[in-house]
Structure 1
Amino acid sequence: MSFRRLAPEPISADPPGSTESPLLTQSWLDLAFLHWAVDPADVAPLLPAGTVPDTLDGVTYVGLVAFRMHRVGWFRLPGIPYLGTFPETNVRLYSVDTHGRRGVVFRSLDASRLIPVAIARTAFQLPYLWSRMAIARHDDTITYTSTRRWPGPRGAHCRITVRVGESVADPTELEHFLTARWGLHNTFFERQLYLPNTHPRWPLHRAKLVECDENLIAAAGLPAPTGDPVSVLYSPGVPVRFGGPTRPGGIPTP
């Protein structure tokens, strides 16, 4: 069956709408965004049915994003201090579906709390993995470390150090493309789902990559990146609200 899609949504730094009744609330703090260009042909087989690689000037990207998850909460309940707060590092791809909705597809999400990992794997069928992780900051330099525990491959690792630079007053088209994402595509029991999110406009800083020793991208089924990333950004973070999942066409799931 051929894949037909509407024109993708415009790339905007602002969310397309609000999430009045959130399914999940959380904050993403101290984020490092590293991105490498990748051939869309290498990405297409890794995406859920009903989506194709989202491209900018014929190129798509793989992102390695390290940050601190803070106080995950369900519905309007207060976020959980301990179980809902932990380091996370994800490998993500960029997708667009038949209705033009741009999103991300997670190939792996390493996190340091086993119970949230188990819940996310079961409730949302997201590829969360339990890892030993830490984030250390010294002045304007931040180091993120991760070593995978379960389910594997055991020992998959990542060590990133970035030095935070000047704030970004006017993000480039590429910086918008890589960070202004308002939902994720996933497959849930062989059904395509889109999980929308909303948050304030990203406060971004350019950053210098001091160190990057990782094999998470290769472990996620992508070619190991060669050379330096084409984009390195930092953000102090944003509060985030996730709405309920929808089927293609924006129909809420029952």
Structure 2
Amino acid sequence: MTLSPFPPDLTGPWIMRQTWADLTFVHWAVDPERVAPMMPAGTRPDVRDGVTYVGLIPFVMQRAGFGRGPAVPWLGDFLETNVRLYSVDDEGRHGVVFRSLEANRLAVSLGARLAFATPYTWARMSLHREGDVLDYRTRRRWPSPRGAGGRITVRRGPVIAEPDDLSVFISARFGLHTRHLGRTWWVPNTHAPWGLRQGELLGLDDDLVAAAGLPGLAHEAPASVLVADPVHTKFGLPRLVADRG
């Protein structure tokens, strides 16, 4: 099934909103059986041409806030790097499953773990921009494995006028699946279609992917490197996913 770059309507109230900027997608193709045990109950790996993907995604979170209220001062702006998988449930809802999310705000990491059971970690992080080159660095502080992290250096290239199916598959994910309170939930979100650019990977030194349970993968050549223009996104209310059993 080919996904659409255009989001579905988000019904009901918003629970969060935020802007994602200076975002890079680095992806590797893997056998779905390799990541199937990592999926929340009621979901399975989302597959394209017989494979699924593992993403390493650094970016800047900006103006994060709750509902229609104002952005949270200071805490609403931080750096993040996540390792994620691609999921689908029996109702056909496509999403992401986060294996880890590094952030340089301890309060954000603790709050997200307590409120939503998302595997946020606290890290020392930086982003240096020089022209079209983005240089991301991260080193985990808490929890273990302490020191996990690395460096990603990428050059932002020309705009992709018509993204191919793979670019849409890994970027147009309007929801996430997560396990919380003994149940699986799907959290929808919406944003304008991504403005994607070609990305040239100038350097990669990473052990976050290995720390997320996928050793050796980051030493392989990625299947896709993209850089994205900023988008503003909104999250809707979580919805239960029926567990298969």
Report the TM-score, using the length of structure 2 for normalisation: 0.96
Equivalent in the alignment of 2:61 = 69
Name 1:3's counterpart in structure 2.
none
Paired residues of 2:23 and 2:230 also in contact (CA < 8 A): yes
Please give the alpha-carbon distance, in whole angstroms, between the structure 1 residues aligned to 2:163 and 2:170. 10
For normalisation by structure 1, the TM-score amounts to 0.93
Q: Which runs of 4+ in 1 moved over 6 A?
A: none
Question: CA shift at 1:219, angstroms?
Answer: 0.2
Alignment partner of 2:109 out of 110, 117, 142: 117
Partner amino acid, structure 2, of 1:29: A
User: Between Structure 1 and Structure 2, how many residues are aligned?
Assistant: 241
Distance in 2, Cα, partners of 1:216 & 1:233: 19
The secondary structure found in structure 2 opposite 1:247 is: strand
Give the match for residue 87 of structure 2.
95
Q: Which of 232, 243, 246 is the equivalent residue of 2:236?
A: 243
Q: Displacement of 1:170 after TM fit?
A: 0.2
Q: 1:233 aligns with which of 217, 226, 229?
A: 226
Paired residue for 2:96?
104
- 1:156–1:215 CA contact under 8 A, matched in 2: yes
Contact 1:19 1:241 in 2 (8 A): no
Unaligned runs of 5+ in 2: none
Matches of 2:58 and 2:29 in 1, distance apart? 18
Residue in structure 2 matched with residue 5 of structure 1 by the alignment: none
Cα shift at 1:20: 5.1
Corresponding residue for residue 75 of structure 2:
83
| 1: CA distance, partners of 2:229 / 2:151 | 19
- What are the Cα deviations for residues 122-166 of structure 1, in whole angstroms up to 9, with x where unaligned? 000000000000111000100010000001210001200000100
Counterpart of 2:165 in structure 1 is: 173
SS at structure 2 position matched to 1:100: coil
CA–CA distance in structure 2, aligned partners of residues 155 and 248 of structure 1: 35
Which blocks of at least 5 consecutive residues in structure 1 are unaligned?
Answer: 1-7, 250-254
Q: Secondary structure at the match of 2:229?
A: strand
Query: Cα offset for 1:21?
Result: 1.9
SS in 2 for 1:171: coil
Q: Which residue of 2 aligns with 1:188?
A: 180
